[in-house]
Structure 1
Amino acid sequence: MTTTSTTALDPQRVQRRTVFLLSSSQLLSGIGNGATLSIGSLLAVDLSGSEAWAGSITTVLTLAAAIAALPLARLAESRGRRVGLVTGLVAAMAGALLIIASVMGQSFVLLLLGAAFLGLGTAANLQARFAAVDLAEPGHRGRSLSTVVWAITIGAVAGPNLIQPGAAVGSALGLAPIAGPFVFSAAGLFLAAVLLFAGLRPDPLLLSRRLALEAKGEGDAGTQTARGTVRSGLRAVQSSPLAMLALAAVVAAHGVMVAVMSMTPLHLQQLVGGSHAGHHGGTTDSTDALVIIGITISLHIAGMFALSPLWGWLTDKAGRLQTIAMGHGLLLVAVFIAGFGQHEPVLVTAGLILLGLGWSAATIAGSTLLAESVAADARVTVQGVSDTLMGAAGAVGGATSGLLLAWIGYQGLNVASSVLAAAVLALALVMLARRRAPVAGNGAMSQPPA
């Protein structure tokens, strides 16, 4: 922010510009995650020499995102959203370059380090959705948030399908073919960082604070915020039952999604390779397997993001809790279709699409409810804590999914994952029933208090 008075600015015009810039950067940066999700587990097996490490890339990436979430939130609190988001994207670009180096040097350690840096980009992308509601009007928070989430669709869906074009680019640059997709990742992340650095002015978070202070007649006084911690963020969440449910909704949805999604490429590779019963057979360079994996992950990511505007609209119109319940209901259906249809690639793909849809509904509605259910001065810290716990859930899901796949198979992994979704669905329904009893028919749930 500059010293120019905010009275000369139209907050809603700035909001529209902010959503456009955030959406554009999400589109570009989505390519990075798409490539990593589609071939990360295959690279891990190739470079480590063991299937036991298949989930390591997803685990490291999500764990790094969890660790980085609160520091990036603190950076946003002190310097604004622009600095926090650009920092994460630049780190992710470095991660894509490290993965290229790991392939060329056949180094598993470099692969893990690259995944860790890419995790910072994941943390930044998650926080971009909260930046979209800093200046949003209450009745449009769900839609503003979902627009930014939706924008990642094109890049994220394209990522898994850049395997073959990436191989051609890699060969032209003298790289190993499997490293080629990460050239696209690095370029997309670089462009996203430049776009936000140059264009996200005025900063939406800093502007929203100044507007609030001017409305109170306090000028620029008190613009410095206290240093947020996990403990202070959790205290703020615990003060509101709605915030607690919202946090549980996004964390559980992320854990279920990562656990199932991260092992699906390996399961499909074994399935297409002709090994339906065991965990051997099939090869990492199987063209058929790579094509099916690319299509499946692309459709899964499309499910995660393509219908985001619908979930944002339902969040604003039908209600936050109702949309959370829909999301976790879809997650339950998804894991049973994928699990019990484990021998049919079409059913596995259908389950992955529904998994993405459920994640999207629960994350958009939960994030919106969380942002408006805590005090304004604790909001950024709570958002950072939310992303930290989401990342931790994803890391646990990624770390345990490989073990569960080995112990109880792909079907067992899906059934085990259903427990979290069922628990949140039950809590949401109970809270809906309790809130409807005293306020039946007045539509209060469509706009929960901030």
Structure 2
Amino acid sequence: MTTNAPVRADDLPRVQAQRRSLIVLVIAQVLSGVGLAAGVTVGALLAQDMLGSTGLAGLPSAVGTAGSAVAAVAVGRLSQARGRRPGLALGYLAGAAGSGGVIVAAVAGHPVLLFLSLFLYGAGTATNLQARYAGADLAAPARRAGAVSTVLVATTLGGVAGPNLAAPTGGLAAVLGIPYLAGPFLLAGVAYALAALVLAGWLRPDPLLLARALEADPAAAPDDAAGRPRPDAAGRRPGVPAGALVMVLTQVVMVAIMTMTPVHMHDSGSGAAASGLVIAIHIGAMYLPSPLTGRLVDRHGPLAVAAAAGLVLPAAGTLAAVAPDDSVAAYAVALALLGLGWNLGLVAGTAIITDAVPPATRARTQGWVDVSIAVAGAVGGMASGLVVEVAGYPLLAVGGGVLALAVVPVSIALARGSFRDVRRRRERPPTA
């Protein structure tokens, strides 16, 4: 249960800086959402067109998420050393450069250059996710999930607009002599570059650096208003692997099904506009529920919300598996549920991680956690095309749902351990 205590005078710098940080992050996330959606919408189709193989259509997602893994470490390390502003800005600039490389590869018909560029393009995806941590740096402990959700929901505007611009940007690309499917990467490059400029110019004071200055001794603070224990002096708590595992499981399921749905729809006779609409709905569902998810996490705890993710994702996989090939509506509902399940898992896992580590080591730990998420996405993207080629799309969707069910027992087991940890801390006699 949270309280609405008045803001103390010494809390004003934190509150004012948090408000400014969220405004800047929201603007940047709207722009980066456009860039993020481009690769999701046409990346697999572009590779399928260049390589002539459905089995390799999941490779762009795998390469992009591998690049995201490397970028997560780089952004985390740079943020740890210099603050969120340079880390996030350079990550988006790398995404813009990767977008340009994809266009050059498509014009030249060079598959190797395409995959190298998609690897670099993955930096934009990693940075988009890392930005959610910046939203929580200055937030009060009982409101961190809400702050994370504010940053995430901002991605919705760009993420929904991006796929629906696939056809217009494809037409623009044709006019410029660029392959139709490379058109969305024109928009992605501009969007990522603008996001980098917004962060570099306006994210001041840096939220992570200010959080360190304001929280000189976080280990000495009592449990927060929601009853979540603080990390120990070394920043080590079981919350780190717990939060990482929840996000990894939801990520691999989401990426695998999402990557192959446009390909499956295309092979079933649906056009680019139909698959773009489905992906737009999916991305909207990934981010739009964030404010509600944040409130649920702040009120009921992240583990309960993580368990809910383990129930929603199997429902999405089952519906996608039984959907008629010509039913755009059925795929839209299935991928909306897929996005919602991912959102529940991501917000819950992020809250667990943020609660578990102090500002002194936060960015580095978060970077490594996002590496595991990106690797999971790479595995899901790579395996998805092979599974579809060998066994078909329905088996992929059902298999993803079965895997997602693991989130429920994992969350229950972690909840029990967390409750025992809280009781031990509260019953432990004070030390001198």
Query: Do the structures match in fold with TM over 0.5?
Result: yes
Matched residue, 2:365: 382
Asked if 1:395 is matched to 2:392, the reply is no
Deviation at 1:170, TM superposition (A): 2.0
Q: Secondary structure at the match of 2:209?
A: helix
The 1:210/1:412 distance shift into structure 2, 3 A limit, reads same
Number of residue-to-residue matches in the alignment: 403
Matched residue, 1:264: 261
Equivalent of 2:302 in 295, 320, 324 = 320
Deviates further, 105-114 or 348-357: 105-114
Matched residue, 1:205: 208
Please list, as runs of the form range in 1=range in 2, the aligned pairs for 1:238-249 lying within 5 A after superposition. Answer: 239-249=236-246
Letter aligned with residue 376 of structure 2: A
Contact 2:320–2:397 (CA under 8 A) maintained in structure 1: yes
Deviates further, 13-22 or 174-183: 174-183
Distance 1:214 1:400 in 2: 45
The 1:340/1:239 distance shift into structure 2, 3 A limit, reads farther
Cα distance per residue 1:10-39 (max 9 Å; x no partner): 111110110111111010011112111111
The 1:98/1:321 distance shift into structure 2, 3 A limit, reads same
Distance 1:66 1:437 in 2: 33
Letter aligned with residue 400 of structure 1: A
Deviation at 1:153, TM superposition (A): 0.5
Contact 2:68–2:126 (CA under 8 A) maintained in structure 1: yes
Letter aligned with residue 403 of structure 2: L
Distance 1:46 1:320 in 2: 42
Distance 2:38 2:412 in 1: 37
Matched residue, 1:114: 117
Cα distance per residue 1:165-216 (max 9 Å; x no partner): 1023224434333332222111111111110000011111111111223999
Letter aligned with residue 410 of structure 2: L
Please list, as runs of the form range in 1=range in 2, the aligned pairs for 1:48-67 lying within 5 A after superposition. Answer: 48-67=51-70
Matched residue, 1:196: 199
Please list, as runs of the form range in 1=range in 2, the aligned pairs for 1:18-417 lying within 5 A after superposition. Answer: 18-213=21-216, 239-272=236-269, 289-341=271-323, 343=325, 344-417=327-400
Distance 1:439 1:214 in 2: 20
Deviates further, 159-168 or 356-365: 159-168
Distance 1:373 1:8 in 2: 22
Contact 1:338–1:414 (CA under 8 A) maintained in structure 2: yes
Contact 1:236–1:382 (CA under 8 A) maintained in structure 2: no
Contact 2:282–2:336 (CA under 8 A) maintained in structure 1: yes
Contact 1:32–1:185 (CA under 8 A) maintained in structure 2: yes
Letter aligned with residue 45 of structure 2: L
Contact 1:238–1:244 (CA under 8 A) maintained in structure 2: no
Please list, as runs of the form range in 1=range in 2, the aligned pairs for 1:411-450 lying within 5 A after superposition. Answer: 411-432=394-415
Distance 2:322 2:234 in 1: 37
Deviation at 1:242, TM superposition (A): 3.2
Distance 1:137 1:248 in 2: 25
Cα distance per residue 1:117-167 (max 9 Å; x no partner): 111111111110001111111111001001101100011111111112102
The 1:8/1:132 distance shift into structure 2, 3 A limit, reads closer
Deviation at 1:322, TM superposition (A): 1.0
Contact 1:41–1:56 (CA under 8 A) maintained in structure 2: yes
Matched residue, 1:277: none
- Structure 2 unaligned segments of length 5 or more: list them: 1-9, 220-231, 427-432
